[in-house]
Chain A
């Protein structure tokens, strides 16, 4: 058969088109570091060797470098300064790397295995002692190489800094394009570094308050697609979704219980007074938690599922309260500094509470230690909002206005490092960090 035959051209074209399909008309997020520690740890991340095509075009070492440098605590050796590129520990001449100023060296390789599998291996070496600190292997399909790279970052970060990494995680956020009254709203999920963004809902009406289920498989959110608020839950992998509350009045602020079986919701009713309820997703039973004419909303569960935190303006302006879920429980006020404290979210270990707090004329992100009551303001913007903890409790993602546009920002809980995530042609806001979906280690 002539190699220019029509059929051959047909198939080549079809394959080309299909391989280019992911994600049309979605503004991509780009990460930029805005601040880091004054003495970041120097690490050499040597480009990984790869047998032909095994890495699926993914530069694993570059992903690891971006992940680690993005924390502001690690400085990677430039590739141009590397005089050799070993891919195995035994090939590393440590004296060279040590004298180049590195505290650690990472070498690795990507290899094809039988059955369309790929293995990503690396060794983490202490440049000062020569000790090998880790040498894991991650296997999966070629499509999962990027995820394997993030898992490498998790291991390296934990070994060097003693804190579990959150690089192989996902976020969800709302993206808005266009000008009033013709805005287009999208609910997007992406890797924690902004890659692999995928639209799971789009509408000419607003959507808000995305919330991940504890198993990371579902998103609850509020949608105005019927011209008034309603709460949906949607399975992220399949797109399957169902309406869980379309009651008269406000339906808002869904929050999954730690066991994933209940949703804390805000319902306003026909009288328009928002209160907190617990909705049992199995039985559909609704249990009222708060009462009265104040605005009670933005509920968040304590880690043990026995109490919830929420925003209430019952004392005149928004403050954060806590109430037990047992019948007859009374709310107790938690925040006392300043005139505006709202939108509580709990750290994974339950000891810290992050919120939007008014700091002079500015709305900023504050963290309150629930034991001591001490509040630290972590952000520096005018209109910061919607904070969410990373599942390792070490970082907070939130939204802010910069250069007149809504962007996402991350700050470490110790306040020492920060990054921004910006989409060129869209306003991005309401980020939520998904929970870990794999066990530790």
Chain B
């Protein structure tokens, strides 16, 4: 009897996993999982850019390792508060990667702009984009092809460091250079 009880518990727990009202859960980069009874995820492909040229011209979203030699192993440019100016170490880093991309025109990067947590979140999406665009413009000026560059802003949504003071904030105001397929 105890065996039957355990089996029934197991079956019940498994059945619970298929209940309706299960939240939409993202487990793959490309699409959301379709939950149980009564829910559909329809319409245009979740990946699609519905309008606007240049979608996908800058490669897929699959991250690859990219160059690891010397300064090229570094991928992060930091920014002062409320600023999208590239300066100091950032200038050298952008130049190094720009130089590398010019030499390897088959490679693509995604420039990910971020901010610290202060202020309102959607405005910070705009600020993060401004930083990513600043890096992009600098790379274009140094001869990198448009098709090698894409930008995305995460605003304050993906901090590198949790914390509510300048030591955390300074590490979150950044653009990350991600080599993608």
Q: How far is the CB of B167 from the nearest CB of chain A, in Å?
A: 13
Report Cα–Cα, A386/B123, bound state, in Å: 11
Chain A residues within 8 Å of B153, by CB: 229, 250, 268, 272
Q: Give the shortest distance, in Å, between A241 (CB) and chain B (any CB).
A: 6
* CB pair A246 B162 closer than 8 Å: no
The contact size tier of chain B is 35 or more
Say whether B29 contacts A243, CB under 8 Å.
no
Q: Are B125 and A274 in contact (CB under 8 A)?
A: yes
- Cα distance A14–B140 in the bound complex, in angstroms: 64
Q: Is the CB of A6 within 8 A of B154?
A: no
Instruction: Say whether A208 contacts B157, CB under 8 Å.
Output: yes
Q: Taking the nearest CB of chain B, how far is it from the CB of A251, in angstroms? A: 10
| Contact indicator A249/B8 (Cβ below 8 Å) | no
| Residue pair B54, A248 in contact (C-beta under 8 Å) | yes
Q: Which residues of A contact B130 (CB under 8 A)?
A: 272, 295
Alpha-carbon separation in the docked complex, A243 to B43 (Å): 7
Of the four ranges (under 10, 10 to 19, 20 to 34, 35 or more), the interface on chain A belongs to 35 or more
Assess whether A240 is in contact with B9, with CB atoms less than 8 Å apart: no
Q: Which chain B residues (44-103) contact chain A, with CB distance < 8 Å?
A: 44, 46-55, 61
Contact B41 A242 (CB under 8 A): yes
Contacts of A240 on B, CB cut-off 8 Å?
38-42
Which chain B residues lie closer than 8 Å to A203 at the CB level?
A: 25-26
Separation of A225 and B28 alpha carbons in the complex (Å): 8
Q: Given known contacts A248-B49, A343-B120, A386-B120, is B4 in contact with A6 (CB within 8 Å)?
A: yes
Give the residues from 1 to 37 in chain B that come closer than 8 angstroms, CB to CB, to chain A. Answer: 1, 4-5, 8-9, 12-13, 16, 19-26, 29-30, 32, 35
Pairwise interchain contact B61-A356, C-beta atoms closer than 8 A: no
Beyond A21-B16, A295-B130, A343-B123, whether A247 also contacts B160 by CB under 8 A is no
Give complex CA distance A162, B125 in Å.
41
For B129, give its contact among A14, A199, A268, A383 (CB under 8 Å). A268
Selected from A187, A297, A383, the residue in CB contact (under 8 A) with B123 is A297
Q: Which of B23, B24, B121 has the most CB of A within 10 A?
A: B121
A21-B16, A240-B39 given; A206·B23 CB < 8 A: no
B contact set with A: CB distance below 8 Å: 1, 4-5, 8-9, 12-13, 16, 19-26, 29-30, 32, 35, 38-44, 46-55, 61, 117-123, 125-127, 129-130, 132-133, 136, 151-155, 157-162, 164
Q: Which chain A residues have a beta carbon within 8 Å of chain B's beta carbons?
A: 4, 6, 9-10, 13-14, 17-18, 21, 179-181, 183, 186-187, 198-206, 208-209, 223-230, 234, 238-243, 245-250, 252-253, 266, 268-272, 274, 286, 295, 297-298, 311, 313, 318, 340, 342-343, 356, 363, 382-383, 385-386, 401, 404, 430
